[in-house]
Amino acid sequence: MDFDFDLFVIGGGSGGVRAGRLTAAAGYRVGLAEEYRMGGTCVIRGCVPKKLMVYASAFKDAFEDAAGFGWSVGETRFDWAKLIAAKDAEIARLEGIYHANLEKAGTRIFAARARLVDAHTVSLSTGEVFSAKHILIATGGTPFVPAIEGAEHVITSNEIFHLESQPKRILIVGGGYIACEFAGIMNGLGTNVTQFYRGAQILRGFDDEVRGHVAGEMMTRGVNLHVGTDVTSITRVDGGLLVKCTNGALTEVDQILYATGRNPATADLGLDRVGLETGRRGEIPVDQWSQTAIPSIYAVGDVTDRVALTPVAIREGAAFFETVFNANPTMADHEDIPTAVFTQPEIGTVGLSEEAARELEPIEVYRSDFRPMLNILAGRSERMLMKMIISQASRRVLGVHIIGHSAAEMIQMVGIAIKMGATKEDFDRTMALHPSAAEELVTMKEPVRAG
């Protein structure tokens, strides 16, 4: 059968773009449909604009800390509109690069929504219909907002990047990394921040000690964090939005940001038409080759039942190309993925938490809790935490957790060592780099606990 395309990609995010570009560059006929903007969640409404806002919010600390180092800083003022305009310009630049790279590789781009017709056919919202030997679904995820009274008044992480003015008071609902990151961002920019999380502690799934440390520092910085608390109703009033919570208390704010998770964006894709079943949250099950139950249809990135991180989607897209079009069967490796959470203070983590490691085997825990040099002259009490989880049997480093300045930069390098199977003794043999916070990783000599 002669197809219109060798590959048709649905979705222009990180995973779909990488797969489409590599396949087109190899000489295959590739079509890609994106209904919104090229770049997906990460570039348009996720990692990139969020990190720019993290940088913006950190200047408050820098201005305050400067005095301890001899600098006199005059009156400061933050302009929300200028930040949003600068952010928008950078996002537009990156989106242009995505377009240019795809077109240079030979990809045919369609600014349209695509739906599956059958195992080898897609229809576009433009009315066009195309056949393809292979179809790759890479539509990413979408924010989830629970059904509560007044839900129409809330915003999500999609909308917060486009607010015309900065709210003076904001309620952030959720305890995951997106909620906690935006709590830090808005607090740093001068907004009064309240955060509700229905669970016992924020950042579920992370090391328990890390969770407690970050929660404490967030509250010290001024975030009004309430755990074990949820919203029961929201009402618009003259002063803003009136929130009733599970303990009966009332809170009035200007904006409510719901960061209660993201679900795979599989609605209205035509999956039922081709007999492709999804999981409880709408995720598309795939095998180690990113292949669905229908042999000609594949899926990568947040739309699947795997790890929802941009670099993971990119690796999965590249592995798909190698497997399907380059005769080189390749599986994306989902083990020991270095992860950063840009809370304030930020988290860098790779490998197992203490709790997860204890369930597998006897371990040793090495820990260092200290006030970094940066904070001493600044007069800031905030402390860094570094933690290593070691296998008693093999001496391999099973997990490393860092909280504090440049934690993300450090954990990328630590991730390489863990991926190579480094032992505690390998870290001990490494000469310390002084003076640095990172030297603590190679100078922790005695475990604080074992079991």
381 and 412 housed in the same domain: yes
Please state the rounded mean pLDDT for residues 262-291: 95
Report the C-alpha gap between 183 and 189 in whole angstroms.
10
C-alpha dist (Å) from residue 1 to 117, 147, 324: 17, 47, 18
Range of the domain at 22: 5-143+263-325
Q: What does DSSP assign to residue 71?
A: -
Please state the rounded mean pLDDT for residues 158-187: 97
Laid out side by side, the sheet with 250-253 consists of: 231-237, 240-245, 250-253
pLDDT for 449: 95
Q: To the nearest whole number, what is the mean pLDDT of the chain? A: 96
Q: What does DSSP assign to residue 404?
A: S
Please state the rounded mean pLDDT for residues 144-158: 95
Which has the closest alpha carbon to 11: 147, 148, 107? 107
pLDDT band at 239 (very low <50, low <70, confident <90, very high): confident
Q: What's the domain count of the chain?
A: 3
Q: Is residue 190's pLDDT more than 90?
A: yes
The fraction of the chain above a pLDDT of 70, given in percent, is 100
pLDDT for 95: 93
Q: Is residue 43's pLDDT more than 90?
A: no
Model pLDDT for residues 340-396, shown as the tens digit of each residue: 999 999 999 999 999 999 999 999 999 999 999 999 999 999 999 999 999 999 999
The fraction of the chain above a pLDDT of 90, given in percent, is 96
* Predicted TM-score of the model (pTM): 0.95
What single letter denotes the amino acid at residue 305?
D
pLDDT for 422: 98
- Sequence-distant (≥ 6) Cβ neighbours of residue 295 within 8 angstroms: 119
Model pLDDT for residues 295-323, shown as the tens digit of each residue: 999 999 999 989 999 999 999 999 999 99
Give kind and range of the element (H or E) at residue 315: helix 310-325
Which has the closest alpha carbon to 115: 5, 35, 15? 35
C-alpha dist (Å) from residue 385 to 98, 112, 338, 368, 401: 38, 47, 17, 6, 8
pLDDT for 298: 98
Which has the closest alpha carbon to 313: 328, 301, 302? 301
Report if residue 406 sits inside a domain: yes
CATH number at residue 68: 3.50.50.60
166 and 249 housed in the same domain: yes
132 and 19 housed in the same domain: yes
What single letter denotes the amino acid at residue 442?
V
pLDDT for 158: 92
pLDDT for 42: 87
Residue 21, number of CB atoms within 10 A of its CB: 24
Annotation says 162 is catalytic: no
Residue 163, number of CB atoms within 10 A of its CB: 16
- The residue from 99, 153, 405, 434 that is catalytic is 434
As given in the structure block, the two tokens for residue 73 are 């800083």
Report if residue 129 sits inside a domain: yes
124 and 11 housed in the same domain: yes
Alpha-carbon radius of gyration of the chain: 24
Please state the rounded mean pLDDT for residues 324-341: 96
CATH number at residue 368: 3.30.390.30
Report if residue 138 sits inside a domain: yes
Report if residue 272 sits inside a domain: yes
pLDDT for 45: 87
Report if residue 247 sits inside a domain: yes
pLDDT for 232: 96
